[in-house]
């Protein structure tokens, strides 16, 4: 896990979200801080944020994020975020231009890492989406680290 001054990213994330009161407003508050923490500490990224599942649908809607203006609605049938939501698996793309249905919200995006978030019943409640302007930016270790962060957020904010 990424080590930061005084502790790991995971311990800092835990401190941000440990006191969730069950409200939607506080969930958004914690996700906003989570995206800020990730953006601050991940190197060579241009966008970090969340797309959240619209209940009863197979659509994602833009949630808290750090970065340029983003797409607001994504179907589970389109793009890298949709693929992660549909398959319930993380997706790491070295070159987004090799993905025929990639949704280019920011033309500077070259690589992408998307991690699903789950409810206790293993329904996809959203995705963590991270973009870089660098081809091949994300490693297997990055993917494992962000899967750990996503599991923490899922456990703390959707219980």
Q: pLDDT tens across 60-70, in order?
A: 999 999 999 99
Q: Homologous superfamily of 3-157 in CATH? A: GAF domain (3.30.450.40)
Confidence of residue 7 (pLDDT cuts 50, 70, 90): low
Q: Got the DSSP string for 88-149? A: TS-EEES-GGG-TT---SSTT--EEEEEEEE-TT--EEEEEEEEESSTT---HHHHHHHHHH
Written as six digits, the tokens of 139 are 């490693």
Q: pLDDT tens across 69-127, in order?
A: 999 999 999 999 999 999 999 999 999 988 877 777 777 899 999 999 999 999 999 99
Q: Which pLDDT score is estimated for 145? A: 93
Q: Which residue's structure tokens are 């959240």?
A: 52
Written as six digits, the tokens of 127 are 């995705």
Q: How many residues does the chain have?
A: 159
Return the domain boundaries, the chain.
3-157
């Amino acid at each position: 896990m990424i080590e930061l001054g005084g502790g790991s990213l995971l311990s800092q994330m835990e401190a941000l979200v440990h006191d969730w009161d069950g409200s939607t407003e506080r969930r958004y508050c914690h996700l906003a801080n989570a995206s800020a923490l990730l953006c601050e500490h991940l190197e060579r990224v241009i966008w970090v944020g969340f797309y959240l599942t619209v209940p009863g649908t197979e659509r994602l809607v833009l949630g808290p994020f750090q970065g340029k203006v983003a797409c607001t609605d994504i179907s589970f049938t389109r793009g890298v975020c949709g693929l992660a939501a549909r398959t319930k698996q993380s997706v790491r793309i070295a070159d987004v231009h090799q993905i025929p249905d990639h949704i280019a919200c920011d033309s500077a995006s070259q690589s992408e890492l998307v991690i699903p978030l789950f409810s206790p019943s293993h329904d996809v409640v959203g995705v963590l989406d991270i973009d870089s302007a660098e081809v091949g930016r994300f490693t297997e270790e990055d993917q494992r680290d962000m899967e750990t962060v996503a599991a923490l957020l899922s456990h703390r904010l959707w219980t």
